[in-house]
């Protein structure tokens, strides 16, 4: 069956440019999560959606980061005026519901490199 998909798989951009990362969750999963993994670090939680709403955006690293989810399905993570420290693998996960007991299924990630 179809898992979580993310696009692009790799993105190289110049400092100062905007980038948009896309996540297609598993059909029927109402909860969606964004994480990032910087080199040598664990996964850092960024934001969570239940349906189309994100109750808490405080995990986003700066105001250059924004995320939206439309139709309770696809989500996009946008980074404006990218900086070199934004270079990381951005991972999306989805689950059946918001409870921590629901398994989170991860996509393969988008590797972002900011030159």
Partner 1 sequence: DQQVKQNSPSLSVQEGRISILNCDYTNSMFDYFLWYKKYPAEGPTFLISISSIKDKNEDGRFTVFLNKSAKHLSLHIVPSQPGDSAVYFCAASDSGGGADGLTFGKGTHLIIQP
SS (H, E, C) 46-73: EEEEECCECCCCCCCCCCCEEEEECCCC
Furthest-apart CA atoms within the chain: distance in Å: 40
Binding mask 86-105 for partner 1 (x = CB under 8 A): -----x-x-x-xxxxxxxxx
26 belongs to the binding site for partner 1 (CB under 8 A): no
The residue behind tokens 């059909």 is: 27
The smaller minimum CB distance to partner 1, of residues 33 and 65, is found at 33
Q: Is 33 in the site for partner 1 (CB under 8 A)?
A: yes
Number of residues that bind partner 1 (CB under 8 A): 32
Q: Which residues would be at the binding site for partner 1 (CB under 8 A)?
A: 4, 31, 33, 35, 40-46, 48, 50, 55-56, 59, 91, 93, 95, 97-109
């Amino acid at each position: 069956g179809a898992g979580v998909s993310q696009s692009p798989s790799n993105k190289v951009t110049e400092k100062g440019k905007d980038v948009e990362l896309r996540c297609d969750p598993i059909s029927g999963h109402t909860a969606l999560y964004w994480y990032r993994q910087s080199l040598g670090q664990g996964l850092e939680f960024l934001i969570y959606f239940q349906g189309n709403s994100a109750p808490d955006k405080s995990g986003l690293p700066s105001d250059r980061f924004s995320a939206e989810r439309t139709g309770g399905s696809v989500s996009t993570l946008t980074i404006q005026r990218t900086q070199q420290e934004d270079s990381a693998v951005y991972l999306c996960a989805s689950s059946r519901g918001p409870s921590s007991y629901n398994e989170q299924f991860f996509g393969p990630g988008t590797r972002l490199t900011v030159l």
